[in-house]
Amino acid sequence: MPLAADSLSATFAALSDPTRRAILARLASSQASVTEIAEPFDMSLPAISKHLRVLERAGLVERGRDAQWRPCRLRAAPLRDVDAWLERYRRFWEGRFDRRGAYGRDVDRKEGKPARRR
């Protein structure tokens, strides 16, 4: 995976793996040690640690400072940024347009059909 130049790209890249999304889902219920996180996965501890490092670099997971037990915690801030990024696309599925949506109207315009009433 190439180093992502911007944080949104790093977030999306980190989320593009089902194991990493499953780890986040686990951490959404509570913080957990690497061993606890690894338990439900048919995967070695080093493999899980590698996924955790990707999530940490993307700012989606942080480690506790306790030297004995460094729990992993979800950091939701990058997900909030994804939520904000989605904002301009929500109109496409939230019924603010008719079924054909913006494209229907766009095609109508190009085809010289009258604009639909709102």
The site for a second copy (CB under 8 A) is made up of 4-6, 8-10, 12-13, 15-18, 21, 24-25, 28-31, 73-74, 76-77, 79-80, 82-83, 85-86, 88-90, 92-93, 101-103, 106-107
Tell me how far apart the alpha carbons of residues 10 and 6 are, in angstroms, rounded to a whole number: 6
- Shortest CB 60 distance to a second copy, Å: 10
Place of tokens 């939701």: 76
- Shortest CB 44 distance to a second copy, Å: 19
DSSP letter for 99, please. Answer: T
Closest listed residue to residue 21, CA positions, set 49, 50, 44, 52? 52
- Shortest CB 117 distance to a second copy, Å: 20
